[in-house]
Amino acid sequence: QVQLVESGGGLVQAGGSLRLSCAASGRTFSRSAMGWFRQAPGKEREFVASITWRGGSTDYADSVKGRFTISRDNAKNTVYLQMNSLKPEDTAVYYCADARGTATKYAQGYDYWGQGTQVTVSS
């Protein structure tokens, strides 16, 4: 079993930056595709970014392209989400997820989830 713990969320002004981290425990991290999702009040959970197990391929939602960067350090069992030029519409709880397989934008493709970290962007 894999356990994921997100950190790095907080309250920032529009235009600011945050770096989220997801620390993983278990045996599968280095061989698993990872993803970030977010859920805002009154909205369904939506895809943000994904990365393959070697880190050689990434994918992003159109709403965050050019502003967010996903990366991973398998030696440290950690995946990151660098968020720049934040907008109020980025406000949400951000979740890290482990696919135990192929990277995908669909939440149903992920087997393990963290408990989330709150990101609030003020205008």
> What was the pLDDT predicted at 64?
98
User: Rounded distance, CA 48 to CA 35, Å?
Assistant: 7
Whole-number average pLDDT of the chain: 93
Please give the distance of CA 7 from its chain centroid, rounded to a whole number. 11
The helix/strand/coil state of 30 is: helix
Mean pLDDT (whole number) for 3-32: 90
> What was the pLDDT predicted at 75?
86
* Torsion angle (degrees, nearest 10) of CA 56, 62, 67, 69: -20
**Does the pLDDT value for residue 101 go beyond 70?**
yes
The string of DSSP letters for 62-118 reads TTTTTTEEEEEEGGGTEEEEEE-S--GGG-EEEEEEE-SSS--S-GGG--EE---EE
- Give the rounded percent of residues in the chain with a pLDDT score beyond 90: 80
Mean pLDDT (whole number) for 27-47: 88
